[in-house]
Chain A
């Protein structure tokens, strides 16, 4: 969309290879269809379930029995996603961007072959190319995984209630999905191989896990599934082995959701034909600070980039700035430092900057100061919700004027809270400046 603003002739190829269970979706990518958007809406549905309980303590009265209807929610969510798909189609059309629903792969220098759903092939040439194919969920590579398991690619449009669910994985996808499924009243178990939320602050990750456990989600730790098969009618049997020994366990579930990571869609798009180097192990594409691959006319943005966070706003910003540099004479590069993020688990987690362990590693324990606090959101007092779970900490670099290098908050509306702090960190926030800022009362952010 940005390139079209500068009068460039632009084409977008988008194609969704169906999931093993045959699921597919429209224009917009992961975020819109099977990521951020439907995830946050379902998370909201779960939060509203909690709100219903709270509301009674605030004087609201309605019949005790309240049940959730999966189909009603999913239909509404899919309708909204559909409107976004449509919105993108219209936006591209209005901006004169050519859109082809076809699978693109390089066949030679400056040339791409586009194959549509019916197998019809067309060739296109361009002066420059941008690879932004993103990722798809990994599978376990064990018997029964592709036949019986679903992934986040299937969950958000599942045409039946998932029922008793086993979530395999400890990624934010696993925990967010387990979180909202439990919030909707389902029996949820999470099977974790080792640690939760690898790459995130582990102190906080453990708090998140603890909270989920205390609120009814079962955790099976240090086990991995080794076989998935049909169990009693309507159920799947999962056989899992301990990572610490030979112990084998079995369990039955209506649904098994795999959330063990995502793999790059870079291996089958002909990159070898044009000489674009990828990391053979991960499939990720290394780029310079201008998002350029080793082939000067080929660029890449988004989840496929090596060593960059997999986030929508980052991909958008990188893409826009790239185009502005190419066609509008701009020089701004995407700033990958201090990118804030939020995990929408039942107890939300907002973060920006260093985790405590990476700060210690980089600066040394003696050179950092961690200020922290538990807090009780005012809205949780009347319904007597946990008074010692919400938590915030900032990590300061003592040698640099006590500059705030890490911000972490565990509590409601963590994303809304964190955004402004991320902006402040971009401005070089120090502890002193934080102390001299007046709070807004009564809110959690203060």
Chain B
């Protein structure tokens, strides 16, 4: 018979909701299935996906809480008299953040309703290419059919299952933002941006925090910038255990966690106790219970992610995928949203515009933020050869740091350009306050094919940090001191 819905989306996160709302604009019959499997520690949340509930949003808010801690210190230099002691209460912050997230869950429910998108709080799996079996928490089953199906189930944090005690005693970012009590002395092993960002704000609100890393931080990012970021974190108070990896986690009599780890260089074994161990060893695509094999949707054998083409189509006609679940795409909310919207426009709006995944800007919200767009220096060298690129760079000091007597040793920026005639900008990297705000506009410029001369013709806004980008003129190759001086 006829399919019930024009479009069914499994997964109510950034990509799924954007696709649903866009499709509804074309008067289509749309349904969204969203279900959150509780974390091993029992944490669950409402509609909106990772970003809203256990990602970007709570992360940035807690990062802001930490930044405000620094602001309190700065304020005293600027003449504000604040009686000591100053201390931070986790539960006040957590409550406020959780309340805001819940308002977003509510907002999404209302939006779907307004746009006449049907919402099922059910876990979906394929029965056949046009049929989804939805299961509620209580086990009640509903069958839904659709002409087109979009998989947007995202990912969930992985656990290092080979480490004894990892699952029973550790938490992940899925749990951190929903903790009612302070995590206390925390260890975050391995180093994806999530763990650095979390370690950063935990340190900022006054908790003793340790990051453990086996090899390099922020893999995939420009490594010079990654080192500056971690250097700053070290001077900021986060402890780093480098070249180490944990071997087991046990519970002590006093209900703390005892972690044993090995140092690969010194070949020693060390133990210490913590209140919380937060794993950040990467995310696994949420495809296990989808029953993809039944319908033949192909996944990457290594990553488990769904393979899609440039139009977000899977190996099965009428089945698509967007967001973190897709192979080879950046795991970012804005790309998921854009991809979801464009997909809906192509399916129902006679558009043929494909998603452009090039030059997607991003920001790591560590205590000293790192924003970037385009190629890292090493990727540019690999792609074009070091003889064909020029790197302009500068160390600068934000004006606001002067009176606050803050160290700006890691405030740094660099621009990677092609050497050839037009000197097109391949990549821009910025470490400093408000890095995301700084980089966004330049990402637009790069989308327009910005060249070094065009940037140099742009007048700076004074006094800001961003203006230093328009003044970059010292090259790495020259070996000259790249510290900005004067007004």
Contact surface of A with B, Cβ cutoff 8 Å: 28, 31-32, 36-37, 40-41, 44-45, 48-49, 51-52, 54-55, 57-63, 65-74, 76-77, 80, 84, 87-88, 91, 184, 311-314, 317, 332, 335, 338-342, 350, 378-379, 381-382, 413, 415-424, 426-429, 433-434, 436-446
Do the beta carbons of A427 and B459 come within 8 Å of each other?
no
A80 in contact with B402 given A69-B79, A441-B51 (CB within 8 Å)? yes
Q: CA separation between A435 and B55, bound complex, in Å? A: 24
Q: CA separation between A59 and B95, bound complex, in Å? A: 9
Q: Report B-chain residues with C-beta under 8 Å of the C-beta of A443.
A: 363, 434, 436-437, 440
Known: A68-B80, A440-B436. 6 other contacts (CB 8 A): A45-B78, A52-B75, A71-B79, A313-B467, A339-B459, A446-B334
Smallest Cβ-Cβ distance to B455: which chain A residue: A423
Do the beta carbons of B334 and A51 come within 8 Å of each other?
no
Q: Report B-chain residues with C-beta under 8 Å of the C-beta of A416.
A: 434, 437-438, 464-466
In the complex, B77 has a CB within 8 A of chain A: yes
Among A87, A340, A437, A445, contact of B447 (Cβ-Cβ < 8 Å): A437
Do the beta carbons of A423 and B399 come within 8 Å of each other?
no
Pairs across A and B, CB under 8 Å, 14 listed: A37-B463, A40-B463, A58-B64, A59-B89, A60-B68, A88-B487, A184-B79, A312-B487, A313-B461, A339-B459, A382-B96, A423-B470, A427-B448, A443-B437
Do the beta carbons of B457 and A442 come within 8 Å of each other?
no
Do the beta carbons of B462 and A31 come within 8 Å of each other?
yes
Do the beta carbons of B65 and A59 come within 8 Å of each other?
yes
In the complex, B295 has a CB within 8 A of chain A: no
How far apart are A113's CB and chain B's nearest CB, in angstroms? Answer: 28
Smallest Cβ-Cβ distance to A341: which chain B residue: B461
Q: Report A-chain residues with C-beta under 8 Å of the C-beta of B362.
A: 440
Among A44, A52, A62, A342, contact of B400 (Cβ-Cβ < 8 Å): A44
A58 in contact with B93 given A438-B335, A440-B362 (CB within 8 Å)? yes
Smallest Cβ-Cβ distance to B89: which chain A residue: A59
Smallest Cβ-Cβ distance to B469: which chain A residue: A419
Do the beta carbons of B464 and A66 come within 8 Å of each other?
no
Contact surface of B with A, Cβ cutoff 8 Å: 51, 56-57, 60-61, 64-65, 68-69, 71-72, 74-75, 77-94, 96-97, 100, 205, 332-335, 338, 356, 360-363, 371, 399-400, 402-403, 434, 436-445, 447-451, 454-455, 457-467, 469-470, 485-487
Q: CA separation between A314 and B461, bound complex, in Å? A: 9
A48 in contact with B445 given A59-B96, A87-B485, A420-B439 (CB within 8 Å)? no
Q: Report A-chain residues with C-beta under 8 Å of the C-beta of B64.
A: 58, 378-379, 382
Do the beta carbons of B100 and A381 come within 8 Å of each other?
yes
Do the beta carbons of A311 and B448 come within 8 Å of each other?
no
A59 in contact with B205 given A413-B434, A419-B461, A439-B334 (CB within 8 Å)? yes
A440 in contact with B79 given A416-B438, A427-B449 (CB within 8 Å)? no
Q: Report A-chain residues with C-beta under 8 Å of the C-beta of B92.
A: 57-59, 61
Smallest Cβ-Cβ distance to A318: which chain B residue: B459
Q: CA separation between A258 and B466, bound complex, in Å? A: 31
Q: CA separation between A424 and B440, bound complex, in Å? A: 10
Q: Report B-chain residues with C-beta under 8 Å of the C-beta of A36.
A: 462-463, 487
How far apart are B435's CB and chain A's nearest CB, in angstroms? Answer: 9
How far apart are A289's CB and chain B's nearest CB, in angstroms? Answer: 14
Q: CA separation between A410 and B56, bound complex, in Å? A: 23
Among B79, B332, B454, B486, contact of A88 (Cβ-Cβ < 8 Å): B486
Q: Report B-chain residues with C-beta under 8 Å of the C-beta of A350.
A: 461
Q: CA separation between A77 and B402, bound complex, in Å? A: 9
B71, B80, B82, B441 interface centre (most CB from chain A within 10 Å) = B441
How far apart are B318's CB and chain A's nearest CB, in angstroms? Answer: 26
A40 in contact with B399 given A426-B454, A427-B445 (CB within 8 Å)? yes
Interface residues of A, dominant DSSP? helix
Smallest Cβ-Cβ distance to A72: which chain B residue: B79
Do the beta carbons of B68 and A437 come within 8 Å of each other?
no
How far apart are B272's CB and chain A's nearest CB, in angstroms? Answer: 27
Q: CA separation between A312 and B471, bound complex, in Å? A: 13
Q: CA separation between A31 and B486, bound complex, in Å? A: 12
Q: CA separation between A74 and B449, bound complex, in Å? A: 45
Q: Report B-chain residues with C-beta under 8 Å of the C-beta of A439.
A: 334, 361, 440
Q: CA separation between A43 and B420, bound complex, in Å? A: 43
A63 in contact with B82 given A421-B441, A440-B443, A441-B56 (CB within 8 Å)? yes
A420 in contact with B442 given A73-B79, A76-B77, A80-B403 (CB within 8 Å)? yes
A60 in contact with B88 given A48-B71, A440-B443, A441-B334 (CB within 8 Å)? yes
Among B87, B465, B470, contact of A61 (Cβ-Cβ < 8 Å): B87
Smallest Cβ-Cβ distance to B57: which chain A residue: A442
A51 in contact with B71 given A313-B467, A341-B461, A442-B56 (CB within 8 Å)? yes
Among B51, B75, B97, B443, contact of A382 (Cβ-Cβ < 8 Å): B97
Q: Report B-chain residues with C-beta under 8 Å of the C-beta of A28.
A: 487
Q: Report B-chain residues with C-beta under 8 Å of the C-beta of A340.
A: 458-459, 461
Q: CA separation between A411 and B403, bound complex, in Å? A: 24
Do the beta carbons of B60 and A440 come within 8 Å of each other?
no
How far apart are B360's CB and chain A's nearest CB, in angstroms? Answer: 5
How far apart are B471's CB and chain A's nearest CB, in angstroms? Answer: 8
Q: Report B-chain residues with C-beta under 8 Å of the C-beta of A71.
A: 79
Do the beta carbons of A423 and B68 come within 8 Å of each other?
no
Q: CA separation between A70 and B79, bound complex, in Å? A: 6
Do the beta carbons of A442 and B60 come within 8 Å of each other?
yes
Q: CA separation between A424 and B68, bound complex, in Å? A: 31
Q: Report A-chain residues with C-beta under 8 Å of the C-beta of B78.
A: 41, 44-45, 48, 72-73, 76
Smallest Cβ-Cβ distance to B451: which chain A residue: A427
Q: CA separation between A258 and B138, bound complex, in Å? A: 71
Do the beta carbons of A63 and B458 come within 8 Å of each other?
no
